[in-house]
Structure 1
Amino acid sequence: MKVSLIVAVSRNGVIGQNNQLPWHLPGDLKYFKSVTMGKPLIMGRKTFDSIGRPLPGRTSIVITRDPEWHAEGVQIAQTLLQAMALAELACAEAGVDEIMVIGGEQIYRLTLPVADRLYLTEVQAEVEGDAFFPTYNLEQWHQVSEQLPEKTDTHPYRYLVLERKSN
């Protein structure tokens, strides 16, 4: 089972501002949909709240410490371990072998050490923000693909896929 993180990140490491994306990149949203479709998604409660609904065609697993929190159409986990177990079941049911972690900051911090693959949208801008992608050692990863979008919307960006090097 592969654990993959998918994230759009600015040059200064920002991934969010006031529980929203700090940019509007329709091309990146289409890319996100194409990469994640059919796969289970693990996210934190704040990320789910910012999206506002379960994403169609994907199992949404929300990690929250609040035992009273509920949302229609999602699976709820109190821990990363619970979320991973739910995601593995969803993978088996869907016939896929990749779990997608979609944020936010705290969930990326928890999952980066066990991630096998990073789908990075590098946004070529420095923006204000209050949520950041954790730093990582590039020497532990190798780039398997790079793609430039057809048009760059408001900020130039590129898609990178990195895989963890085996020891």
Structure 2
Amino acid sequence: MSFTLVAAFDENRLIGANNNLPWYLPADLKIFKQNTLNKPILMGRKTCESLKKPLPKRTNWVLTRQPDYHREGFRIIHDWRLLLGDKEVMVIGGAKIFELLLPQADKMIITHINATFSGDTYFPEIFWSEWQITNQEVYPISENNPHHAFSVVTYHRI
């Protein structure tokens, strides 16, 4: 079993503002979908509550400390170790879940947005010496990506 962290952040590791994404990048949303489709995804309660409904064609796991938490279409757990039987779990946030599972992760797929935004939620500090780039795709500003340049980088733990 392995954990893959899937996140997008700006130049300051910002990932959120008021429980939403601080940017709109349709091209990155498409990449997120490609990377998570037909795989189990794990999120925290706040990330769950930011979604209108479960993400389709994925098992939507929610890790929370709230003992009576329930939301239609989501599977609730209180201990991430309960997912040990799954082959690869895609961890999609938020900050507390990333912080909890970064030490357990074997892989990260990070969208680095070439901009800075205002917000209140950050990805935890990464010790880059523990990671190796295994793939990188650059998305400059273009007709298909008019908002912000970004790159999607896959890292594997060394």
Q: TM-score, normalised by structure 2?
A: 0.93
Where does structure 1 lack aligned partners over 5 or more consecutive residues? 92-96
Match of 1:155 in 2: 148
Q: Which amino acid aligns with 1:160?
A: V
Check if 1:118 corresponds to 2:108. yes
- CA displacement at 1:51 relative to structure 2: 1.4
Residue of 118, 141, 146 corresponding to 2:136:
146
Count, aligned residues: 155
Counterparts of 1:18 and 1:153 in 2: how far apart (Å)? 24
Q: Which amino acid aligns with 2:107?
A: R
Match of 1:137 in 2: 127
SS at match of 2:93: coil
1:118-155 CA deviation, whole Å, 9 max, x = no partner?
00000011111111000111111100000023743311
Runs of 4+ in 1 over 2 A off after TM superposition: 79-82, 149-153
Q: Which amino acid aligns with 1:49?
A: E
Q: Which amino acid aligns with 1:114?
A: Q
Match of 1:61 in 2: 61
Please provide the CA RMSD for this pair.
1.2
- Pick which of 36-45 and 146-155 moved more: 146-155
- CA displacement at 1:80 relative to structure 2: 2.2
8 A contact 1:6–1:100 mirrored in 2: yes
Counting only pairs closer than 5 Å after superposition, residues 5-16 of structure 1 correspond to structure 2 as: 5-16=5-16
- CA displacement at 1:26 relative to structure 2: 0.3
Where does structure 2 lack aligned partners over 5 or more consecutive residues? none
Structure (1/2) with the larger helix percentage: 1
SS at match of 1:144: strand
Counterparts of 1:56 and 1:12 in 2: how far apart (Å)? 31
Q: Which amino acid aligns with 2:130?
A: Q
Q: Which amino acid aligns with 1:43?
A: M
1:86-134 CA deviation, whole Å, 9 max, x = no partner?
xx3xx4xxxxx32100000000000000100000000011111111000
8 A contact 1:108–1:134 mirrored in 2: yes
Counting only pairs closer than 5 Å after superposition, residues 26-65 of structure 1 correspond to structure 2 as: 26-65=26-65
Counting only pairs closer than 5 Å after superposition, residues 83-94 of structure 1 correspond to structure 2 as: 84-85=83-84, 88=85, 91=86
